[in-house]
């Protein structure tokens, strides 16, 4: 009987110990995040006394380059591309996420740790500079990531390095393409009634027949247009994608005085039944894998990937015919 009492007592003591350890762990976590019982200051915003409305521009930089985004009465734009519009919601989300960083998880507080965690002025993953309508700029460094959902951060002028969660590092892109709508032409392929194309192979045109099929204007008896190829060409033009805007000013280096290809879309299904969009394809940048492109529907010159426009440069009349056509 005494042995049974001892076993019960030991079990009770072990249970109490488990509860005490769990309680201590909970208190430790609570104190770490709130500072309520140890004298540690509660978590505060890393960037204090600032709202998104205070920010007039944002510059994001990394080892590959930087991008500047500026706010005006018309919204957010890219000054370095002659004010090309950027997606305002994406910019404001980045600003909000930066301002949401708090000091709850400090991981280091010495200058020596900054390089190791990649939040040093000369060694960082991302550098985000918030310019203010009133006041000095605020600079936040994003550094290494211990896991896919966490990033080391540091406010310029402070030694402390904190850990923040979320996708902030992925949002802070240093290329303009990450902030714009890359659709350069937004016509519906269904509204295209005709395509005229001129390149080094010659000049030819496709027109949509009453039954919805495509025919060459000079189609001879016995010739058949490959409808899939024709539809691919139309879709490529109607939804032409760009890599980035270049600005509003034309330059000789763009090669558009003697375009490599010129395509004209004639649209139907609109109030203006004669609406046309002309696209000129100019010089190629072999290193970047792009062409310079200008559309009559936009005041901006843009850079477009080879995958988007090389088909216009190389398209032949014979290449639109179905296999077996003489």
Contact indicator for 143, 153 with CB cutoff of 8 Å = yes
Q: What is the DSSP string of 116-173?
A: HTTEETTEESEEEEEEESSS--EEEEE---SBTTEEEEEETT---EEEEESSHHHH--
pTM of the entire structure? Answer: 0.78
Q: Which has the closest alpha carbon to 61: 88, 83, 80? A: 80
Please, which residues have CB within 8 angstroms of residue 321's CB and are 6 or more apart in sequence? 223, 224, 225, 226
pLDDT of residue 38: 35
Position 31 confidence tier, pLDDT thresholds 50, 70, 90: very low
Contact indicator for 269, 247 with CB cutoff of 8 Å = no
pLDDT of residue 323: 82
- pLDDT of 68 > 80? The answer is yes
SS3 102: strand
Contact indicator for 281, 262 with CB cutoff of 8 Å = yes
Count CA within 13 A, CB hemisphere, residue 25: 6
pLDDT of residue 238: 95
The verdict on domain 52-179 having CATH code 2.40.128 is no
**Domain 189-320 fold:** Immunoglobulin-like (2.60.40)
Question: How far is Cα 36 from Cα 46, in angstroms, rounded to an integer?
Answer: 19
pLDDT of residue 204: 94
DSSP one-letter code for 285: E
pLDDT of residue 42: 77
Residue pLDDT, tens place only, 287-301: 999 999 999 999 999
Q: Mean of the pLDDT values across residues 27-42?
A: 42
Question: How far is Cα 30 from Cα 302, in angstroms, rounded to an integer?
Answer: 53
End-to-end CA distance of the chain: 105
Residue pLDDT, tens place only, 111-127: 999 999 999 999 999 99
Name the more confident of 22 and 140: 140
Residue pLDDT, tens place only, 182-234: 999 999 999 999 999 999 999 999 999 999 999 999 999 999 999 999 999 99
Q: Do domains 52-179 and 189-320 have the same CATH topology?
A: yes
Name the more confident of 74 and 302: 302
Position 21 confidence tier, pLDDT thresholds 50, 70, 90: very low
- pLDDT of 3 > 90? The answer is no
When the pLDDT of each residue in the chain is averaged and rounded to a whole number, the result is: 87
Q: Which has the closest alpha carbon to 195: 326, 301, 312? A: 312
Q: Which has the closest alpha carbon to 168: 94, 87, 79? A: 94
Q: Where are the domains of the chain?
A: 52-179, 189-320
């Amino acid at each position: 009987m005494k042995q049974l009492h001892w076993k019960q007592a030991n079990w009770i003591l072990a249970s109490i110990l488990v509860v005490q350890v769990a309680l201590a762990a909970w208190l430790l976590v609570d104190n770490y995040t709130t500072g309520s019982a140890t004298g540690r200051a509660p978590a505060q915003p890393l960037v204090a006394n600032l709202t998104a409305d205070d920010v007039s521009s944002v510059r994001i930089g990394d080892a590959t380059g930087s991008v500047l985004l500026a706010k005006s009465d018309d919204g957010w734009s890219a000054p370095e591309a002659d004010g090309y519009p950027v997606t305002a919601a994406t910019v404001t989300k980045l600003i909000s996420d930066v301002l949401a960083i708090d000091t709850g998880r400090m991981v280091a507080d010495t200058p020596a740790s900054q390089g190791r965690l990649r939040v040093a002025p000369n060694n960082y993953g991302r550098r985000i500079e918030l310019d203010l309508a009133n006041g000095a700029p605020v600079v936040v460094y994003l550094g290494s990531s211990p896991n896919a959902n966490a990033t080391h951060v540091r406010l310029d002028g402070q030694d402390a390095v904190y850990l923040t969660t979320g996708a902030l590092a992925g949002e802070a892109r240093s290329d303009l393409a990450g902030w714009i709508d890359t659709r350069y032409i937004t016509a519906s392929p269904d509204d295209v009634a005709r395509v005229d194309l001129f390149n080094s192979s010659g000049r030819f045109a496709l027109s949509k027949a009453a039954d919805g099929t495509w025919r060459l204007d000079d189609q001879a008896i016995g010739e058949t247009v490959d409808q899939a190829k024709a539809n691919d060409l139309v879709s490529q033009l109607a939804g032409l994608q760009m890599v980035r805007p270049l600005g509003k000013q034309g330059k000789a280096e763009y090669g558009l005085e003697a375009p490599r290809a010129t395509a004209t879309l004639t649209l139907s299904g609109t109030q203006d039944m004669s609406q046309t969009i002309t696209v000129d394809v100019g010089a190629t940048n072999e290193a970047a894998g792009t062409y310079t492109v200008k559309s009559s529907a936009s005041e901006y010159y843009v850079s477009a990937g080879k995958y988007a426009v090389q088909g216009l440069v190389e398209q032949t009349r014979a290449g639109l015919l179905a296999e077996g056509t003489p």
